[in-house]
């Protein structure tokens, strides 16, 4: 039986664990944190990720913790930026709570297959497999090592040196999931505002609200996280004390997650004969397309499929890389078109074009788009 060590118990590492186990691979997931914990915010899962969860037999359970939603953009006056060239399906996603998703995934991997408080130290490849050295001094022997350890991946640092995660200069994000106590939230509203700001609020499955504020080209930050988010909300709502501003104002400072957005530069390779990267470890991209996890879930499914069917590990990993690098090159092109849109209307159009491309089943897409 093939044996795999997966580094990282985030969404992608856990999904990889499930996909590999379904493919008949023995798996141990090593997570450096003492528990499986995801930041308490929302996450949009697109149709391609839901198709993976369906194939892995957990689609129903994922839908049960999510709220079907549609991504449409508005201007600060509340006017919908229409994209008539795209279908409703191109806008559709499932909003889930990250922590609920990782709990569900960890349960399916099986807690007996997850080593918590166990960081990756280094690996050594040899003819028969790969030896993985861990932070507690122990080692794991495996046929294949998957680095799903996020944007700051230590596996990547060894596999593809000199590829440190870089700041997406001036791109900051603030977000939280909060109860809507006493604030009338009329529905979902994502706004393309002025001064490089984007954000809004989306209702979650349990009646809470996920609010998000992003700014491209942000000036240096001052003040508390709440003040920083409120300063940007001014660029998103014309009316003073709008719904977004009130939601931010009602959020406890410690519940606000702030990130400087980080990017992984395009990698010349993702694999060796025994080691592969997946998820943000391979391709952390700007979240203005809100699809990094969704794309990483595809990585997990493909690894499961190839390692379960190919004659040898090296062949499976080569096929994985041959599929993934061009797909991400295209994702990066379409994502850059969103980022550099000259107007909000163009942003909305490029965003829908990205989603349309991403969710189009691959065979249909190949039929339609000549290589
Ligand atoms: C503001 C914002 C909004 C976003 N919104 C969306 C969205 O709506 N939809 C979407 O699809 N994507 C979204 N994304 C992207 C998404 O968050 C990421 O792509 C996704 O979480 C990456 O998952 P991952 O499992 O690859 O990495 P991570 O979530 O980073 O998980 C990596 C795991 O590895 C562990 N680890 C790290 N180093 C080691 C080590 N040395 N040893 C052992 N374990 C280690 C970490 O503790 C962590 O648990 C958003 C991103 C941002 C910043």
Residue ending a domain, choose from 205, 226, 261? 261
- Residue 303, SS3? helix
Residue (of 285, 313, 287) closest to 20 by Cα position: 313
Beta-carbon neighbour count of residue 339 at 10 Å? 16
Count Cβ atoms within 10 A of the Cβ of residue 162 and give its class: 0-12 exposed, 13-18 middle, 19 or more buried. exposed
* 48, 112: one domain: yes
Q: Residue 149 Cα, ligand 1 centroid: separation in angstroms?
A: 8
- Say yes or no: 146 and 285 in one domain: yes
239 and 143 assigned to the same domain: no
- Total domains, the chain: 2
Average pLDDT estimate for 146-173: 96
Domain shared by 298 and 356, yes or no: yes
* pLDDT mean across residues, the chain: 94
Q: Which of helix, strand or coil describes residue 220? A: coil
Q: Which of 270, 318, 267 is nearest to 162 (CA)?
A: 267
pLDDT-derived band of residue 363, with 50, 70 and 90 as boundaries? low
pLDDT digits (tens, 9 = 90+) for 292-335: 999 999 999 999 999 999 889 999 999 999 999 999 999 999 99
Average pLDDT rounded to a whole number, residues 91-118 = 97
Region 27-34 average pLDDT = 98
Q: Which long-range contacts (CB under 8 A, 24 or more apart) does 355-362 make?
A: 355/46, 355/71, 355/86, 355/90, 355/91, 355/93, 355/291, 356/86, 356/87, 356/90, 357/330, 358/46, 358/48, 358/291, 358/294, 358/295, 358/331, 359/46, 359/47, 359/48, 359/89, 359/90, 361/51
Q: Pick the more confident residue, 151 or 186.
A: 151
Atom in ligand 1 nearest the alpha carbon of residue 49: 11
Q: Which residue's alpha carbon is nearest to atom 31 within ligand 1?
A: 10
Predicted pLDDT at 239? 86
Q: Are residues 273 and 351 in the same domain?
A: yes
Q: Is the pLDDT of residue 38 over 80?
A: no
Kindly report the number of other CB atoms within 10 A of residue 224's CB atom. Answer: 12
Q: Do 175 and 150 sit in the same domain of this protein? A: no
pLDDT of 368 = 39
Indicate whether 132 and 24 sit together in one domain.
Answer: yes
Q: What is the pLDDT of residue 364?
A: 53
Residue 161 lies in a domain: yes
Distance CA 277, CA 295 (A): 13
Q: Which of 226, 30, 27, 232 is nearest to 117 (CA)?
A: 30
User: pLDDT (tens digit, 9 = 90+) per residue, 248-279?
Assistant: 999 999 999 999 999 999 999 999 999 999 99
By residue range, what is the domain housing residue 187? 168-261
CATH of the domain at 114: 3.50.50.60
Tell me which of 240, 261, 282 is where a domain ends: 261
> So what's the pLDDT on residue 26?
97
Residue 205 has pLDDT above 60, yes or no: yes
For residues 20 and 154, membership in a common domain is answered with yes
User: Is 370's pLDDT higher than 80?
Assistant: no
Is residue 207 within 8 Å of 291, Cβ to Cβ?
no
Q: How confident is the model at residue 37, as a pLDDT?
A: 84
**Pocket perturbation via mutation, ligand 1, pick of 8, 33, 354 by most ligand atoms within 8 A of CB:** 8
Pocket of ligand 1 (CB under 6 A): 7-13, 30-33, 43-44, 119-120, 148-150, 154, 173, 175, 259, 261, 279-280, 287, 290-294, 296
194 pLDDT tier (thresholds 50, 70, 90):
very high
pLDDT at 36 over 60: yes
Q: How far is the CA of 12 from the centre of ligand 1 (A)?
A: 8
Whole-number Å distance between alpha carbons of 97 and 99: 6
Give the span between the Cα atoms of 113 and 108, in whole angstroms: 10
Output the CA 8–ligand 1 centroid distance in Å.
Answer: 9
273 with 339, same domain: the answer is yes
Q: How far is the CA of 294 from the centre of ligand 1 (A)?
A: 11
Q: What is the CATH number of the domain that holds 235?
A: 3.30.9.30
């Amino acid at each position: 039986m093939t044996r795999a060590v997966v580094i990282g118990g985030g969404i992608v590492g856990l999904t990889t664990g499930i996909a590999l186990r379904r493919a008949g691979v023995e798996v141990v997931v090593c997570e450096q944190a003492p528990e499986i914990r995801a930041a308490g915010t929302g996450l949009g899962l697109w149709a391609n990720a839901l198709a993976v969860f369906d194939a892995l037999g957990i689609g129903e359970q994922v839908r049960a913790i999510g709220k079907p939603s549609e991504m449409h953009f508005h201007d600060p006056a509340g006017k919908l930026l229409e994209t008539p060239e795209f279908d409703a399906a191109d806008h559709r996603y499932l909003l889930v709570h990250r922590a609920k998703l990782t709990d569900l995934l960890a349960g399916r991997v099986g807690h007996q297959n997850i080593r918590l408080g166990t960081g990756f130290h280094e690996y050594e490849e040899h003819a028969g497999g790969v030896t993985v050295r861990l932070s507690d001094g122990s080692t794991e022997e495996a046929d294949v090592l998957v680095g799903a350890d996020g944007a700051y991946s230590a596996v990547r640092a060894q596999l593809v040196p000199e590829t440190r995660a870089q700041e997406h200069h001036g791109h900051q994000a603030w977000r939280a999931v909060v109860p809507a106590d006493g604030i009338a939230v009329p529905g979902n509203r994502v706004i393309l505002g002025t001064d490089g700001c984007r954000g809004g609020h989306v209702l979650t499955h349990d009646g809470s609200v996920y609010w998000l504020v992003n700014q491209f080209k942000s000036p240096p930050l001052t003040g508390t996280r709440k003040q920083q988010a409120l300063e940007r909300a001014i660029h998103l709502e014309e009316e003073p004390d709008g719904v977004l501003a009130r939601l931010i104002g009602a959020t406890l400072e410690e519940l606000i997650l702030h990130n400087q957005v980080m990017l992984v530069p395009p990698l010349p390779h993702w694999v060796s004969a025994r080691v592969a990267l997946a998820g943000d470890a391979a391709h952390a991209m700007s979240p203005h397309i809100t699809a990094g996890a969704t794309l990483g879930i595809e990585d997990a499914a493909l690894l499961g499929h190839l390692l379960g069917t190919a004659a040898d590990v090296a062949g499976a990993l080569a096929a994985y890389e041959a599929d993934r690098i061009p797909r991400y090159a295209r994702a990066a092109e379409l994502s850059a078109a969103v980022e550099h849109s000259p107007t909000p209307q163009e942003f909305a159009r490029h965003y829908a074009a990205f989603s349309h491309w991403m969710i189009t089943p691959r065979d249909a897409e190949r039929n339609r788009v000549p290589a």
